[in-house]
Amino acid sequence: MRVSRPGRAIMACASLLAACFMWASPASAHSSLVRSSPAEGAVLPTAPRSITLEFNEKVSKIAPAIVLRNDAEAVISSRPPTVGRTTISSTVPTGLPDGSYSIVWRVVSDDGHPIQGVIRFVIGHASDPVDANEVDAPENSTSRSWTWLPVAAAVLAALIGAALVLRRYNTNHTP
Ligand SMILES: [Cu+2]
């Protein structure tokens, strides 16, 4: 059967989307952050000595990252973290002044998918609260991938519909 060029393009698009869809669907299998020290939103009287993140399952040793930034977005520390079975941790430089800080972390799940997030905390008084809008960093990618899933499904359905209509059109109208 002959399929027109736009028909073929649409079908290629649809199968590409289907691949994305299938890739995204096991999102629930990703590792997720269980707890951290410092905890999100913590107000600490003194600077922490280390940062530890604990996940619900084994994490990969591939390219873990813990980056500590101050409220001016300057990188305070980006030492390569130590990787345990379900944890990553890194030491914190001494002599940190009071203020708001953010920890941007990234780790590869045991299933091979990278996950990342941001943890905000304050050293000193709570009078300088961390503004959630201040840090323009990615949220936990697990929740994000779920939000576009229905959209992808709808687009995929529309494309498959279009491809079917085009195919029927071509079948009926091919001389
Ligand atoms: Cu995964």
User: What separation in Å is there between the alpha carbon of 115 and the centre of ligand 1?
Assistant: 9
Query: What's the total number of domains in the chain?
Result: 2
Sign of the Cα pseudo-torsion (31, 88, 110, 112, in order): positive
* φ, ψ (nearest 5 deg) of residue 7: -60, -45
Burial of 168 (C-beta count, 10 Å sphere; 0-12/13-18/19+): exposed
- Give the model's pLDDT for residue 125: 81
Ligand 1 center–CA 103 separation, angstroms: 22
Rounded distance from Cα 24 to ligand 1 centre (Å): 8
Q: How far is the CA of 108 from the centre of ligand 1 (A)?
A: 9
Q: Residue 165's pLDDT is what?
A: 63
Report the CATH number at residue 70.
2.60.40.1220
How far apart CA 38 and CA 107 sit, in angstroms, is: 17
Q: Tell whether 132 and 81 lie within a shared domain.
A: yes
- Residues 155, 72 share a domain: no
What pLDDT does residue 8 have?
Answer: 63
Q: Give me the pLDDT at residue 18, please.
A: 47
Query: Per-residue pLDDT for the chain (175 aa), expressed as one digit of tens each?
Result: 555 665 565 555 455 444 444 555 445 578 999 999 999 999 999 999 999 999 999 999 999 999 999 999 999 999 999 999 999 999 999 999 999 999 999 999 989 999 999 999 999 986 545 554 554 444 444 444 555 666 666 766 776 676 766 676 665 554 4
pLDDT at 135: 47
27 C-alpha to ligand 1 centroid (Å): 5
| Residues 116, 69 within the same domain | yes
What six digits make up the tokens of 163? 């491809």
46 & 97 share domain = yes
Q: Is the pTM of this model over 0.75?
A: no
Is the peptide bond preceding residue 38 cis, with omega within 30 degrees of 0?
A: yes
- Quote the ligand 1 centre to 89 CA distance (angstroms): 22
- In a shared domain, residues 122 and 102: yes
Which structural domain, as residue segments, surrounds residue 64? 33-139
Q: 67 and 121: one domain?
A: yes
In this prediction, residue 21 carries a pLDDT of 45
Ligand 1 geometric centre to CA of 50 (Å): 28
As a whole number of angstroms, the distance between CA 106 and CA 122 comes to 21
**How far is residue 10 from each of residues 5, 67, 115, 173, measured CA to CA in Å?**
9, 42, 32, 18
Both 127 and 55 in one domain: the answer is: yes
Amino acid at the residue 11: M
Asked if residue 78 and residue 151 are part of one domain, the reply reads no
Beta pairing class for 114-123 and 42-44: parallel
Going from the Cα of 142 to the center of ligand 1, the distance in angstroms, rounded, reads 9
- Comparing C-alpha atoms, which of 25, 46, 28, 14 is closest to residue 164? 14
Give residue 30 CA to ligand 1 midpoint distance, Å. 4
Q: Same domain, yes or no, for 15 and 79?
A: no
The reported pLDDT for the residue numbered 94 is: 95
Q: Angle between the 5-24 and 149-173 helix axes, to the nearest 10 degrees?
A: 150
Verify that 104 and 53 share a domain, yes or no: yes
pLDDT of residue 36: 98
Using a CB cutoff of 5 Å, list residues around ligand 1, an ion: 29-30, 111, 113
Ligand 1 centre and the CA of 61: distance in Å?
15
CA of 98 to the centre of ligand 1 (A): 37
Structure tokens at 101: 């800080």
d(CA 151, CA 158): 11
Residues 8 and 37 in one domain: no
